[in-house]
Structure 1
């Protein structure tokens, strides 16, 4: 995707390392650094800087909507995916007779708000088999009581990419009262978002989008605006925040806009605006075309070394992540670090992630260091 010169120019901190840990933390391009400096300049102007702040929010909303395939009023921002899911729980306001389907490949942010409700709905666990979620196993879990099916388009845990169309068809047929919420954090900016018909999309901003911490993108199509309007207090998401009747009623903006309850994290949105425009300028399809073959090379190289990836690699469902478990994972991780190969290590699991800024040499450097 990048020539040696443009890679050195845009990502100078990648020099001398094989960075395969984007699924945890991305390396932002210098354009993001420049955007943060712009935020600082605007912030240094005090109240007058707010013109720049709010302009950056709207610019970020525009590029986010474009990349999500939504209209600008269908996109909003909050501080992180955990906040977004708790706000989603407030919008749904489920009770003890309702059911929420979650998966064992989901990040905790999407799976735990339902457990913490004052009156929690029943959480139903869709379990993976051999690292994959099979729609056949979902079917008996769905019913008229199902109000939400929460999935990740790409799993943070093992890189499994869900088979979207059969999932959507099953939910619409067997759980007519259910919404489908999809966490796109491990896909947004890396692979095409083939999740048409999702009722709400949620993504953190510091991974494949190449942004920084403190942001989250929420996409709610207009058809769901009334149903997915939060019940949170605040001010930024209110139509009458400073009107004469503000102590008598709170009039909330609908849908996605209701998730922005307080002052935006402007710094994160300056950064995300620059990051997404960088990614869009390259093109997600170009990123995938470049990086997907490297993922396959990495996957096949692990197999040749007797290391079993945690889920099959599906050519029709590209992903940026390959994971494996090993009893000597700490030792393997230390060896990789010594070879200047940066990966994620947690509880016996090694996770490697390939983005558009990676080179074939990064993958080969990692495989050469994997002496088991």
Structure 2
């Protein structure tokens, strides 16, 4: 094994100083944090739309003011539902009572590998030790009905990775996830929720979840009391892979959710590792297929460290522009002309279209295209199926 590594990357403070007084390691003032929370909890505003709104309007407060007008231009009669200031304050107070807090994109405790994702959550609810979130991470995932050999191997590589200075991130599920968390409690582990922090899942892992929160950290992008649904787990999986420099799949059947995590990892530019298994064991079907598709074969933690160690010390920059003081805000983006809006909408359909193609084919400025897409998005008429891709509902 390599010598124990202490390399970590601190968040870069790219925002201008705020008069309202952000705390140490924070980019946002308390007022701005409330505005960010209200904006990301607004109907039809996901991480990609949030980032576009912030970059277009210079800050969450200005974006919130623009929402009704944008939605009306997009064809919606009523403005999107937005939490009141009191509701946002109540969510933050409830988080504090549960010994949790909100960490904003780009702040010191925001996982550095997650920052450059197109759909990185602007806010993460975090309970636990912030320093764990600053370390380099490896995802370990696999079957819920894992074999004894699979669990033993997951524990072995988790311990070895921890001894080398890596933090293990996983989804707190039964089987491989639980084994990886248990083995890395003393060296650093992060658990990602599909629902809100007040809705731990699965219930039988409550003791493990509390241990992870106490010795490591648990995180969620969802509202505090959000009940996890089936469609929330792939969303959770993208955070597991997004926080990590690489993802290790220990056991996975052909139709396993762990393969979704592996696919997302590949799409995010992460390294994908797989542990080979017997062709007679259906729990190895997915991992063996990953190996055929080019995943790196793993027989011990050294295989992982050899690939990932050269990637350390290269923190990606956030795609979200920093909040600026109100005095620095430029004028609100102008409304596109009616003919420009019509050309842009005519080019859209149910098939995903690249935003660059919309700009080129419409002959409109980038800012005009972005405004029209925001209008459609807030009106509930737009899908964003991938980075820089849009489709009309």
Question: Where on the TM-score scale, by shorter chain, does this alignment land: which range?
Answer: under 0.3
Provide the TM-score with structure 1 as the length reference.
0.23
The two structures have a TM-score, normalised by structure 2, of: 0.23
